[in-house]
Amino acid sequence: MNLKDVLRMGPVMPVIVIHDLAHAKPLAKALFKGGIKVFEVTLRTDVALDAIRIMRDAVPEAIVGAGTVTGPDELEAALGAGAMFAVTPGLTRELAESATGPALPLLPGVMTPGELMAARDLGFDALKLFPAREAGGVGMLRAMAGPFPDVLFCPTGGVTLETAPSYLELPNVACVGGTWLAPADRMEAEDWDGITRLAEQASALRVK
Ligand code: 3PG
């Protein structure tokens, strides 16, 4: 699976934090109904790996990845749970080495030109700018397009429905990531129709 193609499948990748496993299936269905085809389920809770399994079963057409992967053990666990790609907040040599071969396509987080160059040296040209807002946001991505035109980004961290369009009009941005599509309060309230509406709004954003 080519990660650049995955990033181009929709304008927004929801960054999902699941606390209650019972939410995994209805959440996946609600997001997919709203047009979202790629999910990032963060490994920040005890139920995250099971949630990945459930979401894949619930929506077989979706591409379900694991997020907040910080080491080889988590990468292996994600692969075992059926994750189809992995997202990391930053890149280490160990992670890069475990992601080669039959393992998972990796979307590594970078924040500086030096980190970008190190990631590229290790073979990665699809990157997450993280945390995007704090890293300089749109201005930073514009500046990176000059020296690194081959790198495609998914900026994540501090991106909102309101700020997403200014990212999505950049030529080196394929999509943005954000938690706003699966807010904790709406999940708690089991407001799946509300989440579908958030997904529809996000899916309607245009990428240049
Ligand atoms: C995270 O850390 O959860 C991601 O950066 C996305 O967070 P946000 O969309 O809430 O900023």
Q: Which domains, ranges and CATH numbers included, belong to the chain? A: 3-203 (3.20.20.70)
Q: Which two tokens stand for residue 95?
A: 């992670």
Global pTM value: 0.96
Query: Which pLDDT score is estimated for 102?
Result: 56
Query: Which pLDDT score is estimated for 207?
Result: 84
Q: Give tens-digit pLDDT for 9-61.
A: 999 999 999 999 999 999 999 999 999 999 999 999 999 999 999 999 999 99
Query: Which pLDDT score is estimated for 147?
Result: 97
Q: Among all chains, which residue has been given the structure tokens 């939410």?
A: 23
Distances (CA, A) of 135 to 2, 149, 192, 208: 26, 18, 33, 22
In this prediction, residues 136-154 reach a mean pLDDT of 97
Q: Give tens-digit pLDDT for 90-113.
A: 999 999 888 776 568 999 999 999
Q: Give tens-digit pLDDT for 176-201.
A: 999 999 999 999 999 999 999 999 99
As a whole number of angstroms, the distance between CA 161 and CA 132 comes to 14
Q: Which two tokens stand for residue 200?
A: 């529809």
Query: Which pLDDT score is estimated for 81?
Result: 96
Q: What are residue 65's DSSP bridge partners? A: 40
Burial of 19 by CB count in 10 Å (0-12 exposed, 13-18 middle, 19+ buried)?
A: middle
Q: What's the chain's length in residues?
A: 208
Q: What's the CA-to-centroid distance between 94 and ligand 1, angstroms?
A: 24
Cβ(107)–Cβ(85) below 8 Å? yes
Query: Which pLDDT score is estimated for 208?
Result: 79
Query: Which pLDDT score is estimated for 1?
Result: 79
In this prediction, residues 64-88 reach a mean pLDDT of 95
Q: Among all chains, which residue has been given the structure tokens 């980190």?
A: 115
131 lines ligand 1 (CB under 6 A): yes
181: DSSP letter: T
Percent of the chain with pLDDT over 90: 93
Query: Which pLDDT score is estimated for 90?
Result: 97
ipTM of the complex: 0.89
Q: Which of 40, 169, 190, 208 is catalytic?
A: 40
156 lines ligand 1 (CB under 6 A): yes
179 lines ligand 1 (CB under 6 A): yes
Average pLDDT, the chain: 96
As a whole number of angstroms, the distance between CA 86 and CA 27 comes to 20
Radius of gyration of the chain measured on its C-alpha atoms: 16
